[in-house]
Chain A
Amino acid sequence: MKIIVRTLVIALALTGAIATTSAKASSAKTTVNISKTSAVPVPTCPPDDPDGCGIFD
């Protein structure tokens, strides 16, 4: 149990570290480069977007 939990936690930390590096490398292209974990979609367009970012599509 102890080994399983420790492996899981280390895997989470490593995944986070790799994702941070990856996001930093490609974040210069986009305005929004982070979001919260939620089932609600991320509003990635600016607030004055003429199509409303396709909110009702």
Chain B
Amino acid sequence: MRYPLLVRGCLRVTSMPFLSLLGWLEVAFCLAALCAILAKKQWKDYWSLGAFLAVRAFSSSACMCIMRFGKPLGTHAAYQLYFYTYWISFAVESILALIVVYSVYRLAMAPLKGLQQLGMMVFRWAASISVVVALGSAFAPEMTRTKYLIAAISQLQRTQSILTLCLLVFVCFAILPMGLNYGSRIFGVSLGLGVLATNDLVQSAWLALNPSMHTAYNLVNGVVICLVLATWAAYFALPEPKRRLIVLPTTSPFLRWNQISQVLGDNPGFVAIGGMPPELLAPAELEVMQRASLKMATPFPRSMSA
């Protein structure tokens, strides 16, 4: 009975216990990474990743419990509970992942304050517009509440995946000039997020062709998430190498753009042009202005004008 199912690629019968094991492993790795963040006192810098892991641990364990012990609720009620738990946690995780990307960029660019502020401003605008576009583009004629929820979350997730991949490419190429190395937590977190984002996009292509709850891709998903969570747990558990002293050449574009960006946000000075009542000026200022006016009214000596 099992052999034909295996040959047809149906892993529902043969791999369900292994998938359950991966599900519980995912929860365990989430908690391990969360504990490592707390134990190494990294919550201040990585609170968004901690929150992401906490939500993921809670939602995955809730879904696993519904699948394992939900039969007494009835198939219909259990599936509804599962459906809303999955999609609502997915929306929360997508927003938290955006905040993780934002905080990773902030940490990576900490030594170059000007570029950091400029990049964060651009990121905030890009993320806000993306969220609004995701919510707006999910609207369609005759759309039900559930379909809208799924469409909006799908758009949000796609946006977050693309932004994450952009961040990963940036961190990868800017890591050495920023004084970091491949053992830095910033790189570890970015790499994990990048792998998750790529897998999300690949899985979306798979799901479009095979829209089923139990597919062979669940196995790939389980292995990928466990590897990523184990990597994060290891990066936070192991001591982080110190950031090198950043020495940039005077011709470095990083340095030049940082100087320009630092000046961009400065408050401008103001100049009084006219219509200023004399009461606003101090007596000494009035005296200076009167003398200056007298001097200007007096014609220049011939020797000077010549």
Interface residues of A (CB under 8 A from B): 1-2, 5-6, 9-10, 12-13, 15-16, 19-20, 22-23, 26-27, 29-57
Contact = CB atoms under 8 A, between A and B. Distances in A.
Contacts of B87: 43
Given A30-B208, A54-B213, A37 B82 contact: no
A24 B141 CA distance: 19
Contacts of A35: 90, 200, 203-204, 207, 221
B146 A47 contact: yes
Contact of B75 (A16, A39, A51): A51
Nearest to A12: B198
A19 B224 contact: no
Given A15-B202, A40-B59, A44-B207, 18 more contacts: A9-B194, A16-B202, A23-B207, A33-B154, A33-B207, A35-B204, A35-B221, A37-B200, A37-B203, A39-B60, A39-B218, A39-B226, A41-B218, A43-B86, A52-B78, A53-B79, A56-B75, A57-B214
B225 A42 contact: no
Contacts of A6: 172-173
A16 B80 contact: no
B264 interface: no
Contacts of A38: 23, 26, 56, 60, 221-222, 225
A14 B221 CA distance: 19
Contact of B207 (A9, A34, A40, A53): A34
A12 B261 CA distance: 31
Interface of B: 12, 19, 22-23, 25-26, 56, 59-60, 63-64, 66-67, 70-71, 75-76, 78-80, 82-84, 86-87, 90, 93, 146-147, 150, 153-154, 157-158, 161-162, 165, 168-169, 172-173, 176, 182, 191, 194-205, 207-209, 211-214, 218, 221-222, 224-226, 228
Contacts of A20: 158, 161-162, 201, 204-205
Nearest to A25: B208
B204 A13 contact: no
A10 B221 CA distance: 21
Contacts of B84: 47
Nearest to A54: B213
Contact of B201 (A15, A31, A42, A55): A15
Contacts, number: 181
Contacts of A48: 76, 80
Contacts of A53: 79, 83, 213
Given A31-B150, A39-B26, A47-B84, A55 B211 contact: no
Contacts of B162: 16, 20
Contacts of A2: 176
A9 B76 contact: no
A51 to B, nearest CB: 7
Contacts of A19: 198, 201-202, 204-205
B79 A49 contact: yes
Nearest to B13: A57
A22 B205 CA distance: 6
